[in-house]
Amino acid sequence: MPHPLGTQPSKIIAVHLNYPCRARERGRIPEQPSYFLKPPSSLSGSGDVLARPQGCELMAFEGEIALVIGRRAHRVEPGQGWQHVAWVTAANDAGAYDLRHADRGSNLRSKGADGFTPVGPRLLDAAGLDPAQLRLRTWVNGELVQDADTSTLLFPFGDLIADLTRLVTLEPGDVILTGTPAGASVVSPGDVVEVEVSGGGGISSGRLRNTVTDADHDLAAWGAMPRVDDALRADAWGAAHASAPALDEDIAEALRGLATATLSSQLRKRGLQHMTIDGVRPADPGDKLVGTAHTLRYLPLREDLFQQFGNGMNAQKRAVEELRPGQVLVMDARRDPTAGTIGDILALRAQMRGAAGIVTDGALRDSTAVANLGLPTYYAAEHPAVLGRRHIPWDTGVPLACGGALVQPGDILVGDADGVVVVPPDLAGQLVADSVEQERQERFIAEQVAAGEPVQGLYPLGPAWQAAYQQWRSTQP
């Protein structure tokens, strides 16, 4: 299907980072916007294929809101920038990371290939839209992978136009791709990417729909060829890399067999004194929790901000939809037990997303129903109140405090009937080895105590018992 612009723009300008969630994902928040150009020949429409060049593996999608300039803009003030926008539509800023090395910074070959800028299917009249109240969603094979609104952009649309037109004249028909939110990742041949922009009152661009294919011709051997490494793969897949395990399964299996008391002891031996999430208890004491942290931070309620941050697809719902298999949803509710932070519906959704568990230092709603899910859940109290009593869900994927412990995204959480401990990923292997040895020694010690031996010199295991312990150990499977 042809793109809906009618004529070719003189230029397509793309913004690098504009959504706070994407900036956090990338690990940097820019002070000012930065841009790159895509050739007009990269335009395509809904229904067109996205052809991954032969030899490439890292074909990426980025759902974006596209602005179409309606009248010439030169040296425009920020407050006047939106008035130069005629149309708004959905776009996919597609690219092949494998070729990014060829034009470092310009993205010409990695993002400028024919068809790599699908837009549409419908143009929305900008005059009827609030630029700060647009919603962008992206689906891959029917699964929602990006969902963000424009209320908290780093650089509002009018500011982008003003910044650009200090030096560059924008002509009617020019397109500005305004950045992508968190969740952009890699797709493969056969995958279907859909992007939609919507405003109030049911206004929608419709779904821009494109299927990924392999190009039907070889990439000519002259010029730069595709090149990837592990760092580039990690960059391309980003937080949405569902095919990589959240935690090495051998480490995870070993942690499931260890007590949190043992791990806490080993952490203290390494000088880590504050690695327990205090004040939480399990919904089912028989559950064992092992997974990596995906974080959600609540801030104190402010009634004037709740409408903006607490309603709709707020950070709480986004956090659940961002969960990947093996992750634990960890919530900082400021240890306030007087309002619920999650209930049975969102807990069920977390379970369906493959979550390994939930930890909140606030209250749990629908506690009986959540306990019956079989999803390991740790919480500080039960409370029937919903959001809007004490909390505003504020952001996800950030370091936070939960039960007095600092938890970073990707930290390992281990929980049992005694509570939850935080395990730094880089220490996990050695902690497992030392904890296994500690628990082996404690089994030996327990046998001796049960046989009537006093604990002096035995617990902890002293020199007088070392020979007996080594003999006992040689008999163990």
**pLDDT for 359-399, tens place per residue?**
999 999 999 999 999 999 999 999 998 878 899 998 888 89
> Is the whole-model pTM more than 0.75?
no
69 CB neighbour count, 10 Å cutoff: 25
Q: Which residue do the tokens 């068809």 mark?
A: 115
pLDDT grade for 239, boundaries at 50, 70 and 90: low
* 278 within 8 A of 378, measured Cβ to Cβ: no
In angstroms, the Cα distances linking 11 to 7, 106, 151, 172, 377 are: 12, 14, 27, 10, 52
Same structural domain for residues 218 and 153?
Answer: yes
- Does residue 6 lie within any of the structural domains? no
pLDDT grade for 1, boundaries at 50, 70 and 90: low
Q: What pLDDT score does 398 carry? A: 83
Which of these three, 212, 240, 268, is where a domain ends?
240
Compute the average pLDDT of residues 317-336.
90
Strand partners, 64: 91
| Helix/strand/coil percent split, the chain, to 5 | 30, 30, 45
Distance CA 224, CA 65 (A): 31
Q: Is the pLDDT of residue 245 over 70?
A: no
Q: Output the six-digit token pair for 392.
A: 């505003």
**Residue 320: domain span:** 249-423
Q: What pLDDT score does 414 carry? A: 98
What burial class does residue 439 get, using C-beta atoms within 10 Å of its C-beta: 0-12 exposed, 13-18 middle, 19+ buried?
middle
Which of 150, 157, 123 is closest to 33 using CA atoms? 157
68-77, 232-241, 407-416, range with the lowest pLDDT: 232-241
What is the length of the chain? Answer: 477
Compute the average pLDDT of residues 339-356.
93
Q: Is the pLDDT of residue 296 over 50?
A: yes
Same structural domain for residues 415 and 446?
Answer: no
SS3 435: helix
Distance CA 362, CA 381 (A): 7
Mean pLDDT taken over the chain: 91
Q: How does DSSP classify residue 204?
A: B
- Domain CATH for 131: 3.90.850.10
Q: Output the six-digit token pair for 280.
A: 């939480």
- Does residue 2 lie within any of the structural domains? no
The answer for residues whose C-beta is within 8 angstroms of residue 159's C-beta and 6 or more apart is 33, 78, 81
Single-letter residue type at 378:
Y
Distance CA 216, CA 197 (A): 31
Percent with pLDDT over 70 in the chain: 98
Distance CA 338, CA 178 (A): 40
Q: Output the six-digit token pair for 41.
A: 């020949």
pLDDT grade for 200, boundaries at 50, 70 and 90: confident
Distance CA 292, CA 414 (A): 9
SS3 40: helix
135-139, 380-384, 424-428, range with the lowest pLDDT: 424-428
Q: What pLDDT score does 410 carry? A: 86
Q: What pLDDT score does 336 carry? A: 95
SS3 58: coil
Distance CA 12, CA 17 (A): 16
Count of domains forming the chain = 3
Which of these three, 240, 261, 285, is where a domain ends?
240
Distance CA 251, CA 408 (A): 19
pLDDT grade for 246, boundaries at 50, 70 and 90: low
Structural Rg of the chain based on CA atoms: 27
- Does residue 19 lie within any of the structural domains? yes
Same structural domain for residues 301 and 398?
Answer: yes
Distance CA 12, CA 218 (A): 27
- Does residue 7 lie within any of the structural domains? no
pLDDT grade for 156, boundaries at 50, 70 and 90: very high
Distance CA 64, CA 40 (A): 17
Same structural domain for residues 220 and 253?
Answer: no
Same structural domain for residues 27 and 132?
Answer: yes
Q: What pLDDT score does 169 carry? A: 97
Same structural domain for residues 276 and 378?
Answer: yes
Same structural domain for residues 215 and 327?
Answer: no
Distance CA 154, CA 171 (A): 24
191-200, 307-316, 344-353, range with the lowest pLDDT: 307-316
- Does residue 5 lie within any of the structural domains? no
Distance CA 68, CA 205 (A): 13
What burial class does residue 352 get, using C-beta atoms within 10 Å of its C-beta: 0-12 exposed, 13-18 middle, 19+ buried?
exposed
Same structural domain for residues 152 and 288?
Answer: no
- Does residue 268 lie within any of the structural domains? yes
Q: Is the pLDDT of residue 235 over 80?
A: no
Q: Is the pLDDT of residue 59 over 70?
A: yes
Backbone phi and psi for residue 335, each to the nearest 5 degrees, phi listed first: 60, 25
- Rounding to the nearest 10 degrees, give the CA dihedral for residues 113, 118, 123, 127: -60
111-120, 155-164, 304-313, range with the lowest pLDDT: 304-313
- Does residue 3 lie within any of the structural domains? no
- Does residue 4 lie within any of the structural domains? no
Compute the average pLDDT of residues 418-431.
93
- Domain CATH for 370: 3.50.30.40
- 183-192 per-residue burial string, b: 16 or more CB within 10 A, e: under 16: bbbbbeeebe
Same structural domain for residues 236 and 330?
Answer: no
Compute the average pLDDT of residues 300-315.
83
Q: Is the pLDDT of residue 9 over 60?
A: yes
Distance CA 310, CA 389 (A): 11
Same structural domain for residues 409 and 436?
Answer: no
Q: Is the pLDDT of residue 242 over 60?
A: no
Same structural domain for residues 94 and 158?
Answer: yes
Q: Is the pLDDT of residue 103 over 90?
A: no
Same structural domain for residues 48 and 154?
Answer: yes
Backbone phi and psi for residue 470, each to the nearest 5 degrees, phi listed first: -65, -40
Q: What pLDDT score does 181 carry? A: 93
Per-residue pLDDT reduced to its tens digit, 443-469? 999 999 999 999 999 998 899 999 999
Helix (H) or strand (E) holding 117: strand 117-125
Q: Is the pLDDT of residue 308 over 80?
A: no
Which of these three, 380, 408, 423, is where a domain ends?
423
Q: What pLDDT score does 64 carry? A: 98
Q: What pLDDT score does 247 carry? A: 78
Q: Which residue do the tokens 């995958």 mark?
A: 191
Q: What pLDDT score does 36 carry? A: 95
